[in-house]
Amino acid sequence: MDEVAQKHLPVQGETAEGEEPFDDTRVARPRDPERTRRAILEAATAEFVEHGFAGASVNEIAARARINKRMLYHYFGKKDDLYLAVLERIYKGIRSAETQLRLTDLAPRAAIERLVLFTWNYFLEHPEFLSLLNTENMLQARHLRRSTRIRDLHSPLVAMLSDVLKRGEREGVFRKGVDPVQLYISIASLGFFYLSNRFTLSTIFQRDLKDPQMLKERGRHVVEVVLGYLRADAKDGEQIIKQL
């Protein structure tokens, strides 16, 4: 076992700060390293979603994964490192799925529509993604800033979106000079805000924003908003300001 892993291993009977004792002699040592890592990450994801970073328990994660806590420390080190691994995993999930969209094979408008609907549906199908993003934003990206992988994970998305926007400009269907990062933030935020605030918004406006039909309508609305902004004849911000 390497020195880093040994440094984090408590001796028998000891617990990490804030943790309840866990009997790590009850669980047999797994033999499949990849399956063990996956089980730990899935258990950790569920625990962090339910209890946030501060409230999550390493003991509970080990129990969910059906491994002993020493094994968890061996694979991921301390709780902060495990949480970062969970964050990187959920980002890798959405970025990997985006590469399967093959946006560069589609006409520009069709490519944007596919990306918008994919993003919306991914948020619906992966509530854990939104939950963990909320938690990490409350922590001001304290853990994500330590990642050495996160920028590389997002580079293909920016390149793919840039290609679509440039083709749209050349074909005369998209306005000029759209920043792909700004555009993606808008696409994500139009869905993220709705879903993150659906309970309060449902109460305020007396609509069930969780209703399947409302969710379908929202997806189409986001597509129309984004494509409307990208129209070649749409006025940019400076032109609008000058007319005020």
**Once rounded to an integer, what is the mean pLDDT over residues 88-110?**
95
Classify 177 in phi/psi space as left (phi over 0), alpha (psi -120 to 50) or beta. Answer: left
pLDDT in tens, 26-83: 444 546 899 999 999 999 999 999 999 999 999 999 999 999 999 999 999 999 999 9
pLDDT in tens, 210-222: 999 999 999 999 9
pLDDT for position 234? 80
What DSSP character marks residue 102?
Answer: -
Calpha distance 38→65 (Å, rounded): 9
The Cβ of residue 31 has, within 10 Å, a number of other Cβ atoms equal to 7
At residue 117 the predicted structure's pLDDT band, cuts being 50, 70 and 90, is very high
pLDDT for position 239? 61
Task: Give the residue extent of every domain in the chain.
Answer: 3-77, 85-236
pLDDT for position 218? 98
Q: What tokens appear for 207 in the block?
A: 């609509």
pLDDT for position 243? 54
pLDDT for position 24? 47
pLDDT > 90: percent of the chain = 80
3-state secondary structure of 230: helix
At residue 236 the predicted structure's pLDDT band, cuts being 50, 70 and 90, is low
94 residue type, one letter: I
Q: For helices 58-65 and 69-76, what crossing angle results, to 10°?
A: 100
Calpha distance 178→231 (Å, rounded): 11
Residues 6 or more apart in contact with residue 180 via CB below 8 angstroms: 158, 161, 162, 165
Top-tier CATH class for 3-77: mainly alpha
Residues 6 or more apart in contact with residue 158 via CB below 8 angstroms: 180, 181, 184
Calpha distance 50→40 (Å, rounded): 15
Calpha distance 142→145 (Å, rounded): 6
- Half-sphere exposure of residue 141, counting CA atoms within 13 Å on the CB side? 6
Residue 8 vs residue 189, higher pLDDT: 189
At residue 125 the predicted structure's pLDDT band, cuts being 50, 70 and 90, is very high
Q: 85-236 architecture in CATH? A: Orthogonal Bundle (1.10)
pLDDT in tens, 161-203: 999 999 999 999 999 999 999 999 999 999 999 999 999 999 9
141 residue type, one letter: A
Residues 6 or more apart in contact with residue 65 via CB below 8 angstroms: 36, 39, 40, 42, 43, 44, 72
pLDDT > 70: percent of the chain = 83
The answer, yes or no, to whether residue 23 has pLDDT greater than 60, is: no
Degrees (nearest 5) of the Cα angle 217, 203, 50? 85
Fold match between domain 3-77 and domain 85-236: no
